[in-house]
Amino acid sequence: MLYFTLRRLSVAVLVALTVSWLSFSMIYLSGDPATALAGETATAADVENIRRIYGYDRPIVVQYVDWLMNALQGNLGRSHYLKSDVSKIIMERLPTTMLLGACALSFALILSIPLGVLAAIRPNSLFDRFALTLAVIGQAMPSFWFALTLILWLGIYGIGGVRLPITGSASWLNFIMPSIALGYYVTPAVMRLTRAGMLDVLSSDYIRTARAKGLRPRTVLFKHALRNAIIPVVSLAAVQFGFMLGGSIVIETIFNINGLGYLAWESIQRADLPVMQAIVLVLSIIYVIITFLADMLNAFLDPRIRVH
């Protein structure tokens, strides 16, 4: 286990370093960073001054190491547009996006695990086909279309006289629509995996033994089968959570949620490079950490993985 952990950890660190290099080099994609930082009213002397202060006149590798050292200490630079420290801005917005991601993931799991289990109990039945159709349809709808349709039906018309708030973050009600809109796209994958896992487990010897022993079907299903089938779902859910953090741009824009996705979209429009760079870095690192933890959990739950 120790060997596995060390190996997995070193991969994670290497990936994190590569990603940091990639997000660092983003600043050079659009030309001279000093001019961009100096802002619109700057004179040529200001630009030179900033180039010197920020050290853009040094070799790129030196700049990168310097930037990395700062980033490790939580200093991600300054946004010339928002006139504030990037790490401060990101820390303000990150909780919202994390909360949204967690809500969306909960929604997805609550919907898809029961569906997957039920579909696996009666494979190829009408219900199985229905669940599969739901999954296929989910994959095929453009997310913004789905989100706007939700607004139309739940926000404007309302169901049963109850209308959900469209924007804002005043109460948990505000998170219902965005969570559905974001979480729905995770459902197909989780559902399929739960179904496949359950089918696998249900046809295995120990479940047959459990059944033969005369245990109640429900006990067999929940205590023995689901517990084992759920292991791969845990790591899939972790990976999907990482994807959702990065994929919430469209949803946050539509529901006017002041999270990281919305900030990213604004920064892209403003060409606010330090912020863009930092968001890519932060999201990537979060993903690296989440997948590392998921792998560790998996290895803990399923000893076979460790020897691979």
Partner 1 sequence: MADVAEIKGHAPTADVILEPTPGAILRRRIFRHWGLIFGGIILLVIVLMALLAGVISPHDPYDQQLARKLIPPIWHESAKATWTHPLGTDHLGRDYLSRLFYGAQVSLMIGFLAMLISGIIGTTLGVLAGYFGGRVDMIVNFIVTTRLSMPVVLVALAVVSLIGGSLTVVIWVLGLLIWDRFAVVMRSATMQIRNRDFVAAAEALGCSRTRIIMTEVMPNIMNHLIVVATLEMAHAILLEAALSFLGLGVQPPTPSWGLMVSEAKGLMFFDAWLIAIPGIALFLLVLSINLLGDGLRDVTSPDGRS
Partner 2 sequence: MWRRFTCAALGAFIVFSHPDVAQAGKADDTLVWATDRENTVIDPYYSNTRELVILGRHVWDALVTIDIKSGEIKPLLSTSWKWLDDKTIEFKLRDGVKFHDGRDFSADDVVYTINFVTNRANGVVTYNNVGWMAGAEKVDAKTVRIKLKKPFAAALAYLANAVPILPKGNYDSVPTGPGGKKDFTQAKPVGTGPYKVVEVKSGEFVLMERFEGYIKGGPKGTPAIKFLRYRTIKEKNTQVAESMTGAIDWIWDVPKEQAERMKANPRLTVENAKTLRVSYLQFDVKGVSPQKFFMDKRIRQAIAHAINRDAIAKSLVGPASEAIHAACHPDQFGCTADVLKDMVRYPYDPEKAKKLLAEAGHPNGFAFDIYGYREREFTEAVIGDLAKVGIKAKLNWLQFRALREKVRKGEVSVNMMTWGSYSIPDASAMVGHFFAGGPDDLTKDPDLTRMVEEAGNTPDAAKRKVLYAKVHARIAAEAYWVPLFTYAKYYVYSKDLAFTTTSDETPRFYLAKWK
Residues that bind partner 1 (CB under 8 A): 11, 14-15, 18-19, 22, 26, 29-30, 124, 136-137, 139-145, 148, 152, 156, 188-190, 192-193, 196-197, 199-200, 232, 236, 239-240, 242-243, 245-247, 249-250, 253, 261, 264-265, 268-269, 271, 276, 279-280, 283-285, 287-288, 291
Binding partner 2 (rule: CB under 8 A), the pick from 49, 143, 204, 298 is: 49
Q: Out of partner 2, partner 1, none, which partner does residue 182 contact, by CB within 5 to 8 A per kind? A: none
Please name every residue paired with 79 in a beta bridge, in sequence order, or none if there are none.
84
Task: Give residue 120's Cα distance to chain centre.
Answer: 27
Segment 156 to 185, residues that bind partner 2, using CB under 8 A: 156, 162-168, 170-173
List the structure tokens of 50: 């900033």
- Give the residue with the Cβ less far from partner 1, 12 or 215: 12
Please name every residue paired with 100 in a beta bridge, in sequence order, or none if there are none.
none
Tell the smallest beta-carbon distance from residue 145 to partner 1 (Å).
Answer: 5
- Give the residue with the Cβ less far from partner 2, 211 or 270: 270
- Give the residue with the Cβ less far from partner 2, 177 or 294: 177
Residue reference for tokens 């790129």: 60
Tell the smallest beta-carbon distance from residue 79 to partner 1 (Å).
Answer: 15
Binding partner 2 (rule: CB under 8 A), the pick from 44, 83, 212, 214 is: 83
Residue 159 identity: I
Segment 182 to 221, residues that bind partner 2, using CB under 8 A: none
Interface with partner 2 (CB under 8 A) = 37-38, 40-41, 46, 49-50, 53-54, 78, 80-84, 114, 148, 151-152, 155-156, 162-168, 170-173, 222, 253-256, 258, 262, 265-266, 269-271
